[in-house]
Amino acid sequence: MANVIVIGAQWGDEGKGKITDLLSKSADVVVRYQGGVNAGHTVVVKDQTFKLHLIPSGILYPETECIIGSGTVIDPKELIAELDKVEALNVSSKNLFISQTAHITMPYHRMIDQAAEERRGNKKIGTTKRGIGPTYADKSERTGIRVVDMMDTDEFAEQLKWTIDYKNVVLEKLYDLQPLDHKEVLDEYVAYADRLRSHVTDSALHIYNAAQQKKNILFEGAQGTLLDLDHGTYPYVTSSNPVAGGACIGSGVGPTTIDRVIGVAKAYTTRVGEGPFPTELDDEVGNMICEVGAEFGTTTGRRRRCGWFDGVISRYAVRINGLDCLAITKLDVLDGLDEIKVCVAYELDGERCTEMPGSARQFGRCKPIYEKMPGWKESTEHCRTLEDLPKAALDYLEFLAKLTEAPIAIVSLGASRDQTIIVEDPIHGPKRALLKENTSAFKVA
């Protein structure tokens, strides 16, 4: 039995959806523990592509239980639309469970998010404008509405009346927007409640019982370490905690429940939205990576900023999350390059810096210090074992593992499930020891 957390080790969009999907075949329960519809996972199975935002990737396995935990924020309209899409593709939702204490995104959250981002001008954060930040803000302010509130129509109507009256003042006076009609919002959300009612449960108790029964539980994060509200590149972050510690809070489990933490990182680095990005490539190589890697957001369709692999932020992610191993994705995107660079440190105000600064302004002044490696100039998309890889590609992976001080358990070479090298099963394989001199960078134990 193993209870495993899968997290993003960069700025999100690392390919967690595919890795979670691969691991879900060994999992009895998959838990999404934070974020909202601002996140997106793309999973390709044979000739079908599934774009998931709130529903855990494990939904594609009929016997796997999928839980949307209390740390998520749920836009019921978007969730129902997503349910309709997966069910239209003959995917059952009978094993989907929704935490009764998860908070609900309301129409005023989306309106405030959009208006506030526009007001920021050149200080904008790069939010998806889906209302996620304002939903979490209401949660912290203790004025939020939860799934369990929406299930009781009478109490919901009373709570919503007060909340709409309050938010209308903000909408009208601060943002010069039209007020919302309480009755229209109530009718809309009561219909959502009726559709979702059969899925609502005490998710923390559900997860506890699964753990007591020695089931394999996979905790699925959204976004990435560098977007964490507390440990990311603030203020250019999301409004929740994607790091491994957030899995315990957002799922309602104690830390002793967790057996292993897997980090997912691309063979290069991408970022969406605003904020410092030391290894960003504003040239033809960056454009090539973007085009070959199809680097466009699952949720927004925005073009992702692309750059070389950043060892500084990756080591930081290993430390912050206590990573046991890494899954490296999109190695195949680098197939056509003559030379590949890896950032091993920064230069900050004339000094060599091997740790990420806490200040966004300082981070913005960081210049990457690179080590160059030869490219392999041949396709890797059909490789299925480490021995199949070109020597230069294998050397590159070895270098990344030693640089980040985390062994590599999985290598992804394309979007499909079968385009993967499983070096060590992170769920059923033995827990790895710390890297030692002359120890293979790929061994998990």
Q: Which residues are annotated as a binding site for IMP?
A: 13-16, 38-41, 128, 142, 223, 238, 302
- Take residue 150 and report the two structure tokens written for it: 């929406």
Residues annotated in the binding site for GTP, as ranges?
12-18, 40-42, 304, 330-332, 412-414
Three-state DSSP at 365 gives coil
Confirm whether 21 is a catalytic residue: no
**Chain position carrying tokens 């680098």:** 334
Q: How far is CA 416 from CA 304, 363, 419, in A?
A: 21, 36, 5
Q: Considering Cα of 94, then 95, then 96, then 102, what sign does the dihedral take?
A: positive
Q: Assess contact for 102 and 206: CB atoms under 8 A.
A: no
**Chain position carrying tokens 């009208």:** 172
Dihedral (Cα; 122, 127, 133, 134), 10-degree rounding:
70
The amino acid at 369: I
Rounded to whole angstroms, the Cα distance separating 270 from 412 reads 16
- Take residue 195 and report the two structure tokens written for it: 């559709």
Q: How far is CA 314 from CA 145, 280, 354, 403, in A?
A: 36, 15, 11, 9
User: Which residue in 53, 109, 129, 139 is the catalytic one?
Assistant: 139
Confirm whether 41 is a catalytic residue: yes
Query: Could you give the residue ranges of the DSSP H alpha helices within 329-435?
Result: 360-364, 391-404
Rounded to whole angstroms, the Cα distance separating 334 from 331 reads 6
User: Which residue in 21, 28, 41, 341 is the catalytic one?
Assistant: 41
Does 56 sit behind a cis peptide bond, omega within 30 degrees of 0 on the bond before it? Answer: no
**What is the 3-state composition of the chain as percent helix, strand, coil, each rounded to the nearest 5?**
40, 20, 40
Confirm whether 176 is a catalytic residue: no
Three-state DSSP at 415 gives coil
**Chain position carrying tokens 């091993």:** 344
Which burial class, exposed, middle or buried, applies to 384 when counting CB atoms under 10 A from its CB (0-12, 13-18, 19+)?
middle
Catalytic residue positions, numbered: 13, 41, 139
